[in-house]
Amino acid sequence: MKRLGHKRSIFTAVILACLGLPTTSAAQASSFQLEIEGGPVWQSRNDVEIPNDGTATRFSLSDVVGHGPWPAGRVYVTWRLSESQAVRLLYAPLSVTVTGSLRGPADFAGASYASGTPVDATYKFNSYRVSYLWRFHSTDESSAWIGITAKIRDASIGLSQGSVRSKKDDLGFVPLLHVEASRAIGTRWDLAFDADALAGGPGRAVDASLKVGYDLGEHWSLRTGYRTVEGGADVESVYNFAWLHYGVLSIVWRR
């Protein structure tokens, strides 16, 4: 909980910074926006125990597959319904399959695996989201939005070693809170913060980014920055917490 509180304080500070930076102009609003984002992703944590009832082994999946990097990407589509309302769709696939080895024998999803023998490990975490956004702050230089996000999580973790195979699929719905803020810096540059997050009960989810944008013209812009995705669940059927780090570059088209 201390770590989560620290993250919340960081996010709050970033939002305030976005709203408080001095500037001279702002990017014009558009009714439709398409953003395609890509870049490398690393993982600093990925702990797994399936099932989470004392019959399985808790181990680090990042020790098996490594820390990366791997290619990753996502697509955003945003419609402005009015000056203060918008709907945003997101598709964010992520799938990694790597041959590695376990540091010790492990019981996973009803099967037993030996250490020192190659094992194929798969980690999939695809995210589909729709967000409703409401703009509660707007000036010529800055804007801020708050909203709710409905997320469909399509996740899977699997191991394969010789003829032994087992995996755990997880398809579920996750409600999230959304917040974003942007600030123009000069005539072409801007700073933007964006987050979907929620914590409570047996798990948590945080997907947040900080990007610098450059306006190429009336319809096009480029953005680059850092994204972090952290969270997981601690329930009887599964224990899995991962922390992912992205270096991102995106192109934006708007009209």
Q: What is the percent of the chain where pLDDT is above 90?
A: 84
| Domain range for 83 | 2-254
Sequence-ordered strand ranges (E) for the chain: 32-49, 59-60, 70-80, 85-92, 95-100, 106-108, 111-113, 119-138, 142-161, 164-185, 189-200, 203-215, 220-234, 239-254
Q: Report residue 29's pLDDT band, with 50, 70 and 90 as the boundaries.
A: low
- Residue identified by tokens 């709050």 is 12
Q: What is the CATH number of the domain that holds 209?
A: 2.40.128.90
Least confident of 10-19, 42-51, 150-159, 165-174: 10-19
What's the average model confidence in pLDDT over 151-170? 96
Q: Tell me how many domains the chain contains.
A: 1
pLDDT of res. 200: 82
Residue 72's closest CA among 100, 96, 48? 96
Q: Compute the average pLDDT of residues 49-63.
A: 96
- pLDDT at residue 7 in the model: 41
User: What is the overall mean pLDDT for the chain?
Assistant: 90
Residue 135 has pLDDT above 50, yes or no: yes
Sign of CA dihedral 233, 234, 237, 239: positive
